Amino acid sequence: MSSILGACGLNCSECIGYKATQSNDPEAVAKVAAEWSRYFNIEIKPETIYCDGCMVDSNRKSRFCPQCEVRKCVVDRSIANCAYCDDYPCEILTEFFKEAPCIQGRLNEIRAELGK
């Protein structure tokens, strides 16, 4: 499975929801839904787990994609991900780093490769 990155720099191919989707295994998807329901303390239905990656041209997006401020900004700016943004790191992304600090390192690596 090739590696694809989300708008924020999250490696989609490492996401359990993405993996369950790509395996076409409804039981795996249901297991992810149950796990995320417990973790986020909200009901997450299996049909909202299916995701091909937030930046991929596909109708299958996880339930989190439509409400993701980072993804919306990247789409609005027509860039591949936050590493390509001239306003990096912005306030939205800085808040996101608090929840997922590993992503900052990945985006910084991409920026270094871009010479930014």
Mean pLDDT of 27-51: 94
pLDDT of residue 3: 74
Dist. CA 27–CA 57, nearest whole Å:
25
- The pTM of this model reads 0.82
How do residues 45-88 score in pLDDT, each as one tens digit? 999 999 999 898 888 988 888 888 999 999 999 999 999 999 99
Mean pLDDT of 32-56: 93
Tell me the C-alpha to C-alpha distance, in Å, between residue 35 and each of 29, 39, 95, 103, 112: 10, 6, 24, 22, 36
Question: Phi, psi (5° rounding) for residue 16?
Answer: -65, -30
